[in-house]
Structure 1
């Protein structure tokens, strides 16, 4: 059976032509632009102008509607549209529509990537009430947008795969940070497809072109840990110690929920197992955490700036060169060395249970259970 032709997306504010299914004598519904919204800001679908048996007829109806010439029954006067290959005729007609004087308020100019992002953000976090998102999730969304700056002012519909891939690769972020950008692009294109703001999901085949830094790392040695504790009064070293004894990825710290009274961190952004995981604050680093919050009002600022400060501090104090992610490997090493239960180690690192239903679904561990495990780590410096 021959496949039904795919027609190009229509310009913003032009209306829509919807295929209603085979078996109908008039399978295409022709709808004017959306002009009304409900209390939650969701579009109220307008009534169809008419129903036609040919997509090109629908296109002509909308063209007449935009010109103010449409009257009920106009579609009955139209001949069948021409059979064409590759949608060339439709594409040319749409280009012509887009050249209509922009002073005509009925035809809206194409939105930029930034404008589509703002609409998406409003829809996800304010309009759609079906989910409640944490502050860390919101911050991750803003983080991703800021690092896609080359796309901000470009017309969204004109973007192609190469534009998106270039913005992702040129961000120069770590693998885990690029995963955030990739996730955001997928979400924006899902939104854009829903509201007919794009012709194709060009985010579908994007790839991260650097190795996954979550799988490679070198823990701090005992002698390096000793040097870290010796210089804990240095704010940069102070943060490195906190990271070595809590195990979050560097880009997760800005969005963490930190409860000093109850003594825990909560957050995470990478995978389902990572998100909203709870890690007790080890008693050895609790004074450092309190000190940072009281002094700086936050646990960490710009993570890119911190990386530079970290490398300078390690060199200053004669500590082996490490990357921020090595702190996470150090935490994993300490959990293993002090025989923390393997399942609790996975919980605190945000690793999946790989099909172990008993622990993944039925493993219920309280904050105090986890605190008892993390306190097995001895700090002897």
Structure 2
């Protein structure tokens, strides 16, 4: 059995070429450099640029990407006479590439603010095929503002101690500091792609304070009994709808409400959340009908609802501890768990990713009736 060819190692921040297996017309997937990372700093593989029939063609695509001459369909015009001399070919192409590799004097003198602006345009403005929520954009800008002490410093001059001091001196919440570190990870990834820095100084940053924040507190069964006993109140009405459907509050402003077929369709944030279908639980159907007949929609403004809820001090008056609207989503998740709703259907209705579960991610298809049977496992407390 013939051994697979051993290909030259690509430079750091150059991109990747993946072999997908034999019996494919174009078995090599060409990916641009990684620009996004998880909160723990693990790289997220970007979508492929193209698929080619020879490794050296993929390499040529990445060189063109680096030099700024790549365009969609570029690979179709590549002509390689001899694909056997991979080492010679790659060295020749790299020799041409080196003129793009070294940052010029102007790049070396760029400040933290300059790199942020370049990265922001690279991530949010260059690719018009992808849109980001206002929440994501505002969180990113907020994280940048928290780095004010670094704004005018030369980016290449920053060291780990400078970044760690920023994190240690910041009095904000654990979650806010996580956003700052995530921003730094992405900025350094961008800077390495364009060889603006030699090392990632953000790699080992840590938050030296306990994470004492609550990540959601579901309503208890007693709380739900109280809410059901006060369902005629318009604010309680909406809280109950959220508790038994599980969407994020902002999703209710634009979702489709199909009274005849008894389902919601909508969602925000990511591809798993958007445009998902959740059956309307029989218990809240009268509340949904009443709200649609009265207001013409489920929700007009999430900010107005939050403000009104706080101003009325409603939950306190009902004898219920403080809760945020997002706690309704946690309540729905807990109800699904308590009443043994199928775990995969629970994820579908909450709009959660299936992670590495390829079977459910790719082949998991559930009808509305199937989901309806699952959601109706949830019982309403006697009131």
Question: Shorter-chain-normalised TM-score: which range?
Answer: 0.5 to 0.7
Report the secondary structure of 1:267's partner residue.
Answer: coil
Of 151, 154, 171, which aligns to 2:151?
154
**2:300 alignment partner in structure 1:** 297
Give the unaligned 5+ runs of structure 2.
Answer: 1-65, 73-95
For 1:255 and 1:207, the matched residues in 2 are separated by 37
Shift of 1:331: 1.0
Q: Is the 8 A contact 1:256 1:266 kept in 2?
A: no
Report if aligned partners of 2:254, 2:266 keep a CA contact under 8 Å in 1: yes
Q: Which runs of 5+ in 1 are unaligned?
A: 1-33, 41-46, 52-57, 67-105
Separation in 2, partners of 1:226, 1:202: 52
Which secondary structure does the structure 2 equivalent of 1:280 belong to?
A: strand
Cα distance in structure 1, aligned partners of 2:198 and 2:295? 48
Taking the TM superposition and a 5 Å limit, the aligned residue runs for 1:1-381 are: 110-113=110-113, 115-128=114-127, 132-136=129-133, 139-152=135-148, 154-155=151-152, 157=155, 160-166=162-168, 170-172=171-173, 175=175, 182-198=181-197, 200-207=199-206, 209-210=210-211, 213-214=214-215, 218-231=217-230, 237=236, 240-248=239-247, 253=250, 258-261=255-258, 263-268=264-269, 276=274, 278-280=276-278, 282=280, 284=284, 286-287=288-289, 294=297, 297-298=300-301, 300-301=302-303, 309=310, 312-322=313-323, 326-350=327-351, 357-366=358-367, 369-379=370-380
CA deviation map 1:21-78 (0-9, x unaligned): xxxxxxxxxxxxx9999999xxxxxx89989xxxxxx99xx7xxx7xxxxxxxxxxxx
Structure 2 partner of 1:99 = none
Distance 1:39 1:354, change over 3 A: closer
Work out the number of aligned pairs and report it. 278
- Post-superposition offset of 1:133: 2.6
**Separation in 1, partners of 2:295, 2:172:** 29
Secondary structure, counterpart of 1:133 in structure 2? coil
Cα distance in 2, alignment partners of residues 48 and 211 from structure 1: 49
Paired residue secondary structure (1:201): coil
Higher Rg: 1
TM-score normalised by the chain length of structure 2 = 0.53
TM-score (norm: length of structure 1): 0.53
Q: CA RMSD in A?
A: 5.0
